[in-house]
Chains A and B, each alone.
Chain A
């Protein structure tokens, strides 16, 4: 089962939920940090890293001795990543999306593949949890290919928990697509609600069932709860504001270790998700409980 933890708004507690859930469960559990721009899960998991690998993207390399300056490469490229300028061809490798169109378009076979570093993937373990994180190279714009490379380590047999990036555009979609369930972490504020609606929109485009965790649940107003009720989205957990939680988080401590009573609550969260999925659609479960 693949469980993606997402949010729309940043800083609502995705990493807190993903890491604590992973460390509360027994059995075959895997945690993937797909927030490759600003990965944080490793700061809490503190895994023993067993393997580091560089992930690259294919980009063009032009052999000017074969090039006739016909311009077909630039014609096919949608991203202005290769251009004939005067007597030369300039590949702008940082703009390249690796479609390989220019390589195929070149009638002279003058374009071959080289690579651009996207970042690294680190793999390790903590207790029984197997951990994979991607780290985007500083200055690299494109995170989705690195996110997909992290997700290549998914193992279909156990439970895979994905810590997704904030927002609703391509990196978030890359972190949610194919998941069995999306856990949306929000806060009960106007910003939290607005961005939650966007995230719910993204989840419904992908057709994945979802549920909510409301963090700092006593710090705003009731509009998030009203919205969830209206939309039939189940609220699966609430985490009240507690200065002890905030301070433990600030030090990189796991909630389930600083305040062990939370371990059972995260186990209960997982059971609720499994029950929802077993009983069919989320909507049926919600109406049954009403």
Chain B
């Protein structure tokens, strides 16, 4: 089985709209939304949830006032200043390291497991989908990303489907690193702006750091062709295949407003024509 992860470094370059368009074009696949922090793919896929599970990960310290003698050791040891003068733990600041729990001489610090999100196995008009939502202000997004990709792979194996199409998170930190491990390839959606180029360079270095083959496409190419060409030059230097140029086309926004993929909204638009060509290139590279 193969997995294509769509990432971008910079947010808002069109990852999810593009992945939804691929969902329409790809024949046999499972969809996976690994942007668990701000998951949007379900807005276009309208999944019918078949299974819903709690995501439990990490712990938070809770001080039991009855047992606490206010000796102050926990406040001294906490590296996050998460315990106030009244010996109440700020659950947002608490890193879940357990140092206060482990070293409290009175055994007054409880350390319950957190439920910090949910994950779902669903059916969509394009096939099965694994998706998740991290609770607001929660931690462990990297672990949820790893879990949902695993679940996506299991679904694909069960159903005998040979492709996992994964919508990745923005950035280059913990959730993105968790979305890369073991992927067949990443497709970087770049935007021809100075910031888009800067962010594409950093995320392609990240893919190289973890030795994941990378491909790039440039969205809204005609917005600034010079920046687009600079991205392509950088890509060629780093052996990153440049697979497509998509023109700026408001049809992406119009399709999104109606909750449709690009092809369901207008398959003849110039944006759709470019995405179809891009998918041929990508699926050729993946040997689908």
Contact = CB atoms under 8 A, between A and B. Distances in A.
B171 A9 contact: no
A78 B194 contact: no
Nearest to B102: A76
A155 interface: no
Contacts of A8: 38
Interface in A1-19: 8-12, 15
Given A11-B12, A37-B172, A136-B172, A98 B79 contact: yes
B283 interface: no
Interface in A183-203: 189-191, 194-195, 198, 201-202
Interface stretch (A23-31, A120-128, A140-148): A140-148
A40 B205 CA distance: 17
A169 B194 contact: no
Contacts of B227: 250-251
Nearest to B227: A250
B99 A251 contact: no
A143 B174 contact: yes
Contacts of B199: 38, 40
Contact of B38 (A9, A170, A220): A9
Interface in B48-99: 58-59, 77, 79, 92-93, 95-99
Interface string B93-131: 101111100110000000000000000000000000000
Given A99-B79, A190-B257, A76 B10 contact: no
Contact of B40 (A105, A136, A191, A251): A191
A227 B13 CA distance: 24
A250 B223 contact: yes
B10 A38 contact: yes
Interface in B189-206: 191-196, 198-199, 202-203, 205-206
Given A10-B11, A198-B136, A249 B193 contact: yes
B170 interface: yes
Contact of A169 (B102, B134, B198, B203): B134
Contact of A38 (B40, B171, B224): B171
B213 interface: no
B11 A9 contact: yes
Given A78-B97, A220-B253, A169 B224 contact: no
B36 to A, nearest CB: 8
B253 A167 contact: no
Contacts, number: 183
A66 interface: no
Interface in B117-166: 134, 136-139, 141-142
Given A11-B13, A105-B102, A139-B206, A171 B43 contact: no
Interface string A154-190: 0000000000011111111100010000000000011
A100 interface: yes
Contacts of A191: 16, 40, 43, 256
Interface residues of B, number: 61
Interface string B1-44: 00000000111110010000000000000000000011010010
B182 interface: no
B92 A206 contact: yes
Contacts of B58: 78
A189 B12 CA distance: 12
B259 to A, nearest CB: 7
Contacts of B136: 168, 198, 201-202, 205
Contact of A142 (B10, B98, B173, B223): B173
Contacts of B137: 168-170, 172-173, 201-202, 205-206
Contacts of A143: 171, 173-174
Contacts of A100: 77, 79, 99
A169 B37 contact: yes
A9 B202 CA distance: 20
Q: Taking each of A99, A219, A220, A249, which has the highest tally of chain B beta carbons within 10 Å of its own beta carbon?
A: A99
A56 to B, nearest CB: 14
18 contacts: A10-B11, A11-B10, A43-B195, A78-B59, A97-B97, A99-B95, A139-B206, A139-B210, A167-B37, A167-B141, A167-B171, A168-B137, A170-B137, A190-B257, A194-B38, A194-B40, A247-B223, A251-B194
Interface of B: 9-13, 16, 37-38, 40, 43, 58-59, 77, 79, 92-93, 95-99, 102-103, 134, 136-139, 141-142, 169-177, 191-196, 198-199, 202-203, 205-206, 209-210, 223-224, 227, 250, 253, 256-257, 259
Interface of A: 8-12, 15, 37-38, 40, 43-44, 76, 78-79, 97-101, 104-105, 136, 138-143, 165-173, 177, 189-191, 194-195, 198, 201-202, 205-206, 219-221, 246-247, 249-252
Given A138-B172, A195-B38, A201-B137, 4 more contacts: A43-B195, A99-B95, A99-B97, A100-B79
